[in-house]
Amino acid sequence: MASHSVADGRAPGGPLYDLMYGHIHASALRAVAEHGIADLLADGPRSAGELAERSGTRAEPLRRVLRLLASRGLFREERGEFVLTEEGAALRTDVPGSQRAPVLMFTDEMFRRAAAGIPETLCTGEPGFDAAYGSPFFAYLEETPEKSRLFDSAMTSRAGTVNAHVTEVCALPAGGTVVDVGGGRGGLLRQVLTEAPGLTGVLYDRPETIAENLLDGEAALAGRWRAEGGDFFASVPEGGDLYLLKNILHDWPDEDCLRILRAVRRATVPGTRLLVVDAVLPDDGTAHPAVALDIVMLMVLRGRERTADEFAALLADAGFRLVRVLPTRSMSSVVEAEAV
């Protein structure tokens, strides 16, 4: 098959154009999420005119935006009407695992401005977010309540299905105490305690975070868990039989990860299990969705996604042995380790 270049008089296409227009696709995606178009298609196909009338938009530009997103598989155009595909259904607000909140977060100006700083990041190694906002990401969230709510909503949406996928692949102990370090509002701990009725749990995070936990209203878990506030860089609750670190280590550079892991190790005895839930990147260049997330870490935080070998080295330096890596049906894997 002959190849063509710009010199042939044909415009180039393929991956280069997909990348070049990537911000346009993201902006179109954000627009339909903001206007709730997927919810309007939940009951069946509608024309651009109907959708525009119901969403308070204009039919002609809406049709063009939907046509673009149809080319990416989120919608389908049939006889002048638009149909929501299985992929596009994740934009609905009323479905389990809705991804509308993550879409709104990752297409927010916070991330667009941070991404614009990547050329400078290549020279300095510093996150573009810090340069754009004059503040580290989490400090900015603390100072900006509406962005903090957006972030919390997106993380809750992303976490829901991941928690179930984690317990699918892990052999939970029949009894003992599980300590969820940096457990946020307690979604994973709730899932674990529900799956393993013989376990008790400790939800450990910043006091202001655990104050809004998801477990207080769970009558079936009453008396089986407690919340404890603190700083996981300094210490974590002692005496657990199983420790959890979900989506924590990828937020931090190696030196900070070692501080967290060593705090966990000080709280444990040899043989104690640790489950690290994070993406595990392939080391052979195989495509993986977390490769893009790794760039988010680069532009927003100082963290990174890691390979199994990189996890093994971190764990060994902190006094743990990597036992195995368990893939899940989500982007995350479970890195199982043991205190030595």
- What residues are paired with 326 via a beta bridge? 334
Q: Are 180 and 189 in contact (CB under 8 A)?
A: yes
Print the domain residue range for 191: 167-339
| Domain-terminating residue out of 67, 92, 117 | 92
Pick left, alpha or beta for residue 36 (phi over 0 → left; psi -120 to 50 → alpha; otherwise beta). Answer: left
Residue 157 resides in a domain:
no
**Do 303 and 171 belong together in one domain?**
yes
Residue 101 resides in a domain:
no
Lowest mean pLDDT among 47-56, 144-153, 263-272, 305-314: 144-153
Under 8 Å CB-to-CB from 337, ≥6 apart: which residues?
273, 274, 275, 276, 315, 320, 321, 322, 323
Cα atoms in the Cβ-side hemisphere of radius 13 Å centred on 297: 19
pLDDT digits (tens, 9 = 90+) for 279-338: 999 999 899 999 999 999 999 999 999 999 999 999 999 999 999 999 999 999 999 999
Residue 108 resides in a domain:
no
Average pLDDT over residues 263-269: 98
pLDDT at 7: 54
pLDDT digits (tens, 9 = 90+) for 27-64: 999 999 999 999 999 999 999 999 999 999 999 999 99
User: What's phi and psi for 47, nearest 5 deg?
Assistant: -75, 165
**Do 171 and 88 belong together in one domain?**
no
pLDDT digits (tens, 9 = 90+) for 108-137: 999 999 999 999 999 999 999 999 999 999
| Whole-prediction pTM | 0.89
Residue 205 resides in a domain:
yes
Q: Where residue 10 falls among pLDDT bands split at 50, 70, 90?
A: low
- What residues are paired with 226 via a beta bridge? 202
CATH number reported for the structural domain that contains residue 35 in this entry: 1.10.10.10
Which amino acid, one-letter code, is at 237?
P
- Percent of the chain having pLDDT more than 70? 96
**Do 318 and 172 belong together in one domain?**
yes
**Do 171 and 256 belong together in one domain?**
yes
Q: Are 300 and 241 in contact (CB under 8 A)?
A: no
CATH number reported for the structural domain that contains residue 210 in this entry: 3.40.50.150
Angle at 289 between CA 100 and CA 134, to 5 degrees: 70
**Do 216 and 302 belong together in one domain?**
yes
Residue 2 resides in a domain:
no
**Do 332 and 201 belong together in one domain?**
yes
Residue 237 resides in a domain:
yes
**Do 209 and 79 belong together in one domain?**
no
Under 8 Å CB-to-CB from 26, ≥6 apart: which residues?
106, 107
pLDDT at 159 over 90: no
Rounded to an integer, what distance in angstroms lies between the CA atom of residue 243 and that of residue 201? 10
| Domain-terminating residue out of 40, 64, 92 | 92
**Do 205 and 86 belong together in one domain?**
no
Q: Which two tokens stand for residue 133?
A: 């906002």
Looking up tokens 């989120």, which residue turns up? Answer: 74
Mean pLDDT (the chain, rounded): 94
Q: Where residue 215 falls among pLDDT bands split at 50, 70, 90?
A: very high
DSSP 11: P
pLDDT at 96: 86
Which amino acid, one-letter code, is at 26?
A
Average pLDDT over residues 78-90: 96
Rounded to an integer, what distance in angstroms lies between the CA atom of residue 18 and that of residue 26? 11
Q: Which residues participate in catalysis according to the annotation?
A: 250
**Do 310 and 187 belong together in one domain?**
yes
Number of domains in the chain: 2
| Domain-terminating residue out of 73, 92, 111 | 92
